[in-house]
Structures are given as structure tokens and as C-alpha cells.
């Protein structure tokens, strides 16, 4: 009874890039798409209307954080995550696995699931595939992610084999626990570390189980960019063409372009929002750090080619002043600009694919970065 569907609209003639459309019960998502991260029921520094202005079509929520605070049962009681945070468009929730595994000494894995201690108050919890699905469905996510282990890099092959097999068994339990009657979608997550054969086996197993979409997990975990691109390249062709493909936790603008080139439809990353709060801004000619003294008297906008409200209204000198003065408005404006950059990059990629000129678009993307703008990219 899923109201979820994916249509492949255009294929780029010279690459694997795809232009698609996901339909959900909460509206349409044009792909390739970047999804801003809203960890604690808010994309930091952005109101929902600001996200719409920036062009967000879907945002992420974090199961681990919302489970601990304010609690998924509270959010369910208050009408679900959308109503709670005043966001009407689709929400994808992660499974909580990534955060739980990041807890290090505070967690212990077993066949059943993962025991962990809260980073907030040290309280003890057990996260299982069934509970992860239940939490995500309490939140009323439109896209629910299977619970898996994000394998550290580097890892022994034997560890990767065992972990991928466990994630496979958990994926089946997620599929069984998932309530299809509510119209949400369930995505499986391909693991397998940096081993193409294990990636292939994982992709095959997940398709046997059957999911509404397929994610690739365990990338952007410290490996070289070329290795990550290699993993995308070998995994994408193994996934069904008629389902959306999502590479989790990726990445830089370059990573997005290279992912799109290899057939990825969906991305998420804290990079534009976190960097914004640290004064690092994305531009068509690379990143700049707004705190640098060279911007002290700079009357120009962050990026002269950018059409966002921040670039139309504020100078680098003002943004530097706000950052140096630890003003809330620094985080607000920087985040607004960075998300506009990421979301526009994807909008432009979509237009390029539709017109069969993605390769030329990517070339121009790199050419502008080589010019280095004012020579101050970092």
C-alpha cells in the first residue's frame, strides 16, 4: 500500500547521471537531490520557510537524537515529526545506527541489536532493527532506513564480512517489522566496506528482500575520494534502475558531482550546515573562510554569481564582523547561503541532465574552481 514511486525521466548520454522523480505521500522530490540534515527536529539556524526559500525538497531527521530527546512517543503524541517541527514536505529518517556505532566504548553489538548508553545522561538502551523501525514510524517518516552497521574504515575483511552478513539479517527483520499500510517507503542499505565482491553480495541480498529504494552506506568514512568513487561505480550498476539510489553522509560539492555522474539520486551531509557555523562558505570557485582578515573591508558578496538573499544583501565585511562577534545571525546567514549553494548545485545538475549536457556541466563546475575566484579558496 505504499504511495511511494520513482520515475526515471532522463539518462545522460555520456555518463551514468540520471534525472528522476520520487513521489511520496507528502509530495514530489526531483532527483538528484541533496537533503539538508535536521538532527534534533530542526535544520540548525533555519526556519522551515527558510528551507523552502533555499529550495529544500526533503530533509533528514535523526532517529538516535529524537529517540533520546524529546522521545519518539512524545513526537507521535503531538502528531508526528512534520507537525512538531512545522515542516510539511517529506522527511527521511536515518536508522540511528550511525550515531549509536559512533559511541565507541558506550555500545556493544550482538545478534539482537546494539546496547548503548545515552550521550546525554548515560542511561542504558537497546536499539534493535524492530525498535529502529518502530521509532521511525512513530516519527511518521516518509522514507524509513533499515538498521545496519556502518563499518569503520579501515577494517579487516573478516570483520566486514561478518558485519555485512549481520546487517543483511537485520535488513530482513526491518522489512518484517515495517508497517506498509501507512504509505511510507523503506530503504535497504548496501554495506560491504571497500570490497566490490562484498558490496555485490550485499546488493543482491537486499534486492531479494526487496526495498523501495537502495542506499549505499559506509562511504565517506575516512577513505580517499577515489576509493569512494570506485565503490559508487561498482555498486550503482548492481542496483535496480527503477528505484532511487542514495549515498549516505556524502559530501563535498565535488563528491556530489561525482556521485551524480555515477548514477546516485540522493545525498545528505552536515557539511553545508556545520561548515556555515564555522564560517566556511561554499562558492562556485571553491570554499572561503569568512574570518580571514582579507575580508575585513570587502564590500562584495560571498559569491558574485550567487542569487541567494545573503549574497544580494550582505557584504563579506559584514559577514566577517558577525562571525568575529559570535552573533547568531552569522550562523543564520552562512547556513542560508551554504544550503542555497548545495541545493542550487543539484537543481543545476538536474537541468543539465535533462538537457543531456551533464558532462559539460561538470567540466564547467571544475573549471570555475580552478580559476579560484579571488585566489582565496581553502
Please tell me whether residue 77 binds a second copy under the rule CB under 8 A: yes
Please tell me whether residue 284 binds a second copy under the rule CB under 8 A: no
Please tell me whether residue 40 binds a second copy under the rule CB under 8 A: yes
Which of 123-131, 145-153, 256-264, 317-325 is the region at the interface with a second copy (rule: CB under 8 A)? 317-325
Please tell me whether residue 88 binds a second copy under the rule CB under 8 A: no
Please tell me whether residue 64 binds a second copy under the rule CB under 8 A: no
Total of residues contacting a second copy (CB under 8 A): 35
Q: Minimal distance in Å, beta carbon 88 to a second copy?
A: 11
Catalytic residue among 12, 94, 212, 298: 94
Q: Which is nearer to a second copy, 212 or 303 (CB)?
A: 303
Q: Is 212 a catalytic residue?
A: no
Q: What is the 3-state secondary structure (H, E, C) of the chain?
A: CCCCEEEEEEECCCCCCEEEEEEECCEEEEECEEECEECCCCCCCCCHHHHHHHCCCCEEECHHHHHHCCCHHHHHHCCCHHHHHCCCCCEEECCCHHHHHHCHHHEEECCCCEEEECCCCCCEEEECHHHHHHHHHHHCCCEEECCCCCCCCCCCHHHHHHHHHHHHHHHHHHHHHCCHHHCCEEEEEECCCCCHHHHHHHHHHHHHHCCCEEEECCCCCCCCHHHHHHHHHHHHHHCCCCCCEEECCECCHHHHHHHHHCCCCEEECCHHHHHHHCCEEEECCEEEECCCHHHCCCCCCCCCCCCCHHHHHCCHHHHHHHHHCCCHHHHHHHHHHHHHHHHHHHHHHHHHHHCCCHHHHHHHHHHHHHHCCCCCCC
Please tell me whether residue 41 binds a second copy under the rule CB under 8 A: yes
Q: Minimal distance in Å, beta carbon 336 to a second copy?
A: 9
Please tell me whether residue 98 binds a second copy under the rule CB under 8 A: no
Q: Minimal distance in Å, beta carbon 340 to a second copy?
A: 14
Q: Which of 44, 115, 287, 357 binds a second copy (CB under 8 A)?
A: 44
Q: Which of 1, 105, 293, 328 binds a second copy (CB under 8 A)?
A: 328
Q: Is 268 a catalytic residue?
A: yes
Please tell me whether residue 317 binds a second copy under the rule CB under 8 A: yes
Q: Minimal distance in Å, beta carbon 59 to a second copy?
A: 13
Q: Minimal distance in Å, beta carbon 203 to a second copy?
A: 37
Site residues (CB under 8 A) for a second copy? 40-42, 44-48, 69-70, 74, 77-78, 84-86, 296-297, 299, 313-315, 317-318, 320-322, 324-325, 327-329, 331-333
Active site residues: 94, 268
Amino acid at each position: 500500500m505504499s504511495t511511494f514511486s520513482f520515475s526515471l525521466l532522463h539518462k545522460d548520454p555520456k555518463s551514468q547521471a540520471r534525472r528522476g522523480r520520487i513521489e511520496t505521500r507528502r509530495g514530489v522530490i526531483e532527483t538528484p537531490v541533496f537533503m539538508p540534515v535536521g538532527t534534533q527536529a530542526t535544520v540548525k539556524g533555519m526556519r522551515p520557510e527558510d528551507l523552502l526559500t533555499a529550495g529544500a525538497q526533503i530533509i533528514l531527521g535523526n532517529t538516535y537524537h529524537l529517540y533520546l530527546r524529546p522521545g519518539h512517543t512524545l513526537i507521535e503524541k503531538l502528531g508526528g515529526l512534520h507537525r512538531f517541527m512545522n515542516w510539511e514536505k517529506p522527511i527521511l529518517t536515518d536508522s540511528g545506527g550511525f550515531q549509536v556505532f559512533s559511541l565507541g566504548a558506550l555500545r556493544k553489538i550482538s545478534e539482537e541489536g546494539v546496547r548503548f548508553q545515552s550521550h546525554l545522561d548515560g542511561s542504558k538502551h537497546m536499539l534493535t532493527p524492530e525498535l529502529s523501525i518502530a521509532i521511525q514510524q512513530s516519527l511518521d517518516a516518509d522514507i524509513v532506513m533499515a538498521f545496519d552497521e556502518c563499518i569503520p574504515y579501515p577494517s579487516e575483511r573478516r570483520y566486514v564480512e561478518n558485519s555485512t552478513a549481520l546487517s543483511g539479517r537485520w535488513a530482513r527483520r526491518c522489512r518484517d517489522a515495517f508497517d506498509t499500510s501507512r504509505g511510507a517507503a523503506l530503504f535497504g542499505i548496501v554495506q560491504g566496506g571497500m570490497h566490490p565482491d562484498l558490496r555485490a553480495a550485499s546488493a543482491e541480498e537486499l534486492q531479494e528482500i526487496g526495498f523501495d529504494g537502495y542506499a549505499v552506506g559506509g562511504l565517506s568514512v575516512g577513505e580517499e575520494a577515489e576509493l569512494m568513487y570506485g565503490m559508487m561505480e561498482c555498486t550503482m550498476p548492481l542496483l535496480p534502475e527503477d528505484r532511487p539510489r542514495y549515498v549516505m553522509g556524502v559530501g563535498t560539492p565535488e563528491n556530489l558531482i561525482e556521485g551524480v555522474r555515477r548514477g546516485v539520486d540522493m545525498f545528505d551531509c552536515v557539511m553545508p550546515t556545520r561548515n556555515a557555523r564555522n564560517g566556511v562558505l561554499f562558492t562556485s570557485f571553491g570554499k572561503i573562510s569568512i574570518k580571514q582578515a582579507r575580508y575585513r573591508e570587502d564590500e562584495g558578496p560571498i559569491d558574485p554569481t550567487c542569487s541567494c538573499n545573503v549574497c544580494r544583501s550582505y557584504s563579506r565585511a559584514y559577514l566577517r564582523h558577525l562571525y568575529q562577534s559570535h552573533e547568531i545571525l552569522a550562523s543564520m546567514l552562512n547556513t542560508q547561503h551554504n544550503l542555497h549553494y548545495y541545493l542550487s548545485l543539484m537543481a543545476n545538475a538536474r537541468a543539465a541532465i535533462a538537457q543531456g549536457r551533464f558532462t559539460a556541466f561538470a567540466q564547467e563546475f571544475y573549471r570555475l574552481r580552478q580559476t579560484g575566484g579571488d585566489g582565496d579558496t581553502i
